[in-house]
Structure 1
């Protein structure tokens, strides 16, 4: 293996660790919501704090943008290895399949936790009649936390459709060279402002946008909202095209401190404009405030994603058996975590402990159960091949050169 190939492999270990980290942070994000002093979650803890709001805000700003950037990069990588047919087959099995299979049991588990919570609150008193079951349509069906799988499928199809005419017409590579130069110019701190401008414009057009919650989550309906399509779609396409210029990863690594400072500055400005760490669920109406908040979120979204990628390349480039294991397990953990998080929140909501301890208890409990089930049921079975693209035998030697799971 050449030096450049070794460097390429080591860098992908860092990106794979980051991809897994974004999914695992979803557990912390959802677990923190019961401690935020605002009626934003179905479980409300007695020990609430603005500190939980800051934690939620910091994670929410960069997590999914970073995930979709990496998803775009890995998608281009897989497309180059397997071709369009192999790519679509793999994505349908490993992304579309889990959405179709796990949505029903996850939704049933969430409903069961809600019923249990209502019974606990009734404390033995007669419970009122259950509400009428909602009528769902394609525009209102709750995708829950699995919405990102549906969004990925849409982005995969969209990027293949957009790519097809350029691939046919660009026989001499002139368009490709132009795109490569544009990506090189955008993979910089000032590129965050350019890439964030369409997102800011889309947020400006949102009639009921609450800045504290960042990009509105497209978790209801099969037609994502405009801001999510623009924001997550732009970062996905950037990651897709970034894989054409893998040398630019070193550039992002070098710019990581500047991007981090820019992300913190823009994020802080957004938090102030949103009313502070105690979140306001009231949509912003002042035009000047809305414009500044939208611009701040646009910059913070891309600067934080760039910073996360650069820092992962810098500190997690080498192979680590533990990081690789957690990256593999993160997909399963994210799929099953939400009902368990809710159950944990219900169980401890009356405990007389400070919120950081209670948060740690919920997160640790969810991770313990998820990792045990992953090891016993998923990793070494056909489920491991389905979710991770490979089945790991019960006894095997660690392989430092394995490519990351897309």
Structure 2
């Protein structure tokens, strides 16, 4: 259990900060609130992909039961899920770098982020390619996406693109960690760290955090998605690298989490209003000569601000209400990495099996989501949780069963 005494970010009184730039808000151990929120962001990816075949957005499988409601749900989840994940990654990265040092940090992130991308690519991505080919063969009447002329497309990271992007952000972070102390005096670094931390955890934090996202949407108004190949894409790098940097800045001030949890009801309410407005005017939208001012404003102002209001509001909810380890939440948080790595093949296979059935879209969604979660959680329990794979991915393993406690020895010898 994390208490106010055990963690400086969860105190109710905030003294004048005198932290160093590296250790201002470094957690001493794992925080149940942010661990649960990170798991929530990963599991939301399974929900998102389970909806894709039922939406009008181009996807591996096109279902006969598509519905506008699925489009709205996909748009809402996509709005904030990835910025939330990268902001948390940046916050955790600051703590890990301060605790492990540059070499330990690079080794840890290489083992737990880059290596899974290489090792699990055949298991995670090849089944999706097989499903796409099977659907194209069995549904020749549907228009197929033209083949890419990019030679890197054959090695697409697919839904694992976030691991590749994180690896790049970590490399930039390590380069900056080496260079900046050599050219910027310590006192200036600390003032900048505290100043940025206060700005990004203060009342206007969502507004400042939305700036990189707005710049990315100005470059790519049709919406920011992860790169389809190993080649970095500038809009995605700005939007998600900016989110990573925001999370890093959160840790630059004392009691960051205590500051972030303020105003969460107002932030979620404002996020909901802005999101509804963006969905009504279909923002973000592909640019055209007939774009109305409302669409442009929604795309470049309301959309990024709504995304970050959701991020800040959800962080506030998690920090406010998730104070201690709960077995079910802890289990799902630990399983979420494996579930996300391996879910897409199960999702697409179920989507292919149900594509031509005349079931209601909601029933199909429940079957696809439930079936993929059941398969990935079962494989996690059997193959990962108590094995070296679990230690590799999560840094810990759990026994398959709890050992019974031995009775206390008695003082009487028989």
| Bin of the TM-score, shorter chain as denominator length | 0.7 to 0.9
- Distance of 2:51 and 2:297 partners within structure 1: 28
Cα distance change, pair 132–47 in 1 and its aligned pair in 2 (3 A): closer
- Distance of 1:234 and 1:375 partners within structure 2: 35
1:157 aligned partner: 171
**Where in structure 2 are the equivalents of 1:112-123 lying within 5 Å?**
112-118=130-136, 120-121=138-139
1:310 deviation in Å?
0.7
1:331 aligned partner: 337
Q: Quick check: 1:235–1:302 contact (8 Å CA) kept in 2?
A: no
Give CA deviations for 1:29-50 in whole Å, capped at 9, x if unaligned: 01111111x2521212222211
Deviates more, 1:130-139 or 1:64-73: 130-139
CA RMSD of aligned residues (A): 2.8
Give CA deviations for 1:200-219 in whole Å, capped at 9, x if unaligned: 1332223xx32xxx4x2123
- Distance of 2:77 and 2:69 partners within structure 1: 13
Cα distance change, pair 349–383 in 1 and its aligned pair in 2 (3 A): same
Aligned residues: 381
1:321 deviation in Å?
1.2
1:62 aligns with 2:68: no
Q: Quick check: 1:22–1:67 contact (8 Å CA) kept in 2?
A: yes
Give CA deviations for 1:23-82 in whole Å, capped at 9, x if unaligned: 00101101111111x252121222221111111111111101100011011111111111
Per the normalisation by structure 1, the TM-score is: 0.85
What SS does the aligned partner of 1:40 have? coil
What SS does the aligned partner of 1:224 have? coil
- Distance of 1:376 and 1:248 partners within structure 2: 38
1:16 aligned partner: 35
What SS does the aligned partner of 2:151 have? coil
- Distance of 1:42 and 1:355 partners within structure 2: 17
1:373 aligns with 2:379: yes
Q: Quick check: 1:183–1:242 contact (8 Å CA) kept in 2?
A: yes
1:292 deviation in Å?
3.7
- Distance of 1:186 and 1:164 partners within structure 2: 24
1:167 aligned partner: 181
2:216 aligned partner: 202
| Unpaired segments ≥5 residues, structure 1 | 399-406
1:343 aligned partner: 349
1:319 aligned partner: 325
1:404 aligned partner: none
2:231 aligned partner: 223
Structure with the larger helix share: 1
What SS does the aligned partner of 1:53 have? helix
The structure with the larger Rg is: 2
1:32 aligned partner: 51
| Unpaired segments ≥5 residues, structure 2 | 11-26, 405-414
Decide which of 234, 237, 253 is 2:245's aligned counterpart: 237
Decide which of 41, 61, 71 is 1:53's aligned counterpart: 71
2:407 aligned partner: none
Deviates more, 1:263-272 or 1:1-10: 1-10
1:151 deviation in Å?
0.5
Give CA deviations for 1:259-287 in whole Å, capped at 9, x if unaligned: 11222222222222326xxx97x544427
Q: Quick check: 1:11–1:313 contact (8 Å CA) kept in 2?
A: no
